């Protein structure tokens, strides 16, 4: 297969995947949205993370991050250490409810994905994950360049 065709093919597969992403999200997270899960996950795994870090890490607009965070505050999943909205550089942390919800969600994700991939051997899954990672890195690099 010529390189152009290989690339064309990848593009089509990628498109399908992306088009289905909303559906995947819904299946995966009956409770949390993908973006909420991502936020909670980052907060859990990154001590002293603050809003602006999320902006950088996720490449989102600060307004998006602000609103998303406020929603998580309102739902009682996240804590603004110090509790003062608008306070610059205030470290974020999970509430115990947040920890619970995130754990439950992660569980759900794991079992859902496990079900999807029932007939994949672990090697193929790992290879797939590596490919995506490499792809993400390639794109990042190309965009920065």
In the complex, the residues that contact its own copies under the rule CB under 8 A are: 1, 3-4, 6-21, 23-25, 27, 34-35, 37-38, 58-59, 106, 109-110, 113-120, 122, 124-129, 131-136, 138-139, 142-143
Q: What CA–CA distance (Å, rounded) separates 112 from 118?
A: 10
Q: What CA–CA distance (Å, rounded) separates 121 from 108?
A: 20
- In the list 1, 3, 4, 19, the residue contacting DNA (rule: CB under 7 A) is 19
Q: Using CB distances below 5 to 8 A depending on partner kind, what does residue 76 bind out of DNA, its own copies, none? A: none
Distances (CA, A) of 10 to 7, 14, 142: 5, 6, 17
The C-alpha torsion from 44 through 48 and 50 to 56, rounded to 10°, is: -80
Q: Is 36 in the site for DNA (CB under 7 A)?
A: yes
Residue pair 73/123 in contact by the 8 Å Cβ criterion: no
Closest separation in Å from C-beta 139 to DNA: 15
∠ CA(55), CA(91), CA(80), 5° rounding?
100
Sites for DNA among residues 43-72 (CB under 7 A): 50-52, 55, 59-64, 66-70
Closest separation in Å from C-beta 2 to DNA: 30
Interacting residues toward DNA by CB under 7 A = 19, 22, 33-36, 50-52, 55, 59-64, 66-70, 84-90
């Amino acid at each position: 297969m010529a390189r152009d065709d290989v690339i064309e093919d990848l593009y089509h597969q990628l498109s399908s995947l992306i088009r289905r992403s909303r559906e995947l999200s819904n299946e995966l997270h009956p409770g949390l949205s993908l973006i909420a899960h991502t936020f909670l996950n980052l907060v859990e795994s990154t001590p002293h993370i603050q809003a602006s870090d999320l902006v950088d890490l996720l490449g989102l607009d600060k307004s998006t991050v602000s609103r998303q965070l406020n929603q998580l505050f309102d739902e009682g999943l996240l804590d603004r250490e110090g509790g003062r909205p608008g306070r610059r550089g205030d470290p974020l942390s999970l509430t115990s409810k947040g920890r619970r919800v995130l754990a439950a969600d992660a569980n759900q994700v794991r079992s859902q994905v496990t079900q999807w991939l029932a007939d994949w051997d672990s090697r193929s899954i790992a290879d797939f994950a590596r490919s995506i990672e490499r792809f993400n890195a390639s794109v990042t690099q190309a965009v920065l360049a």
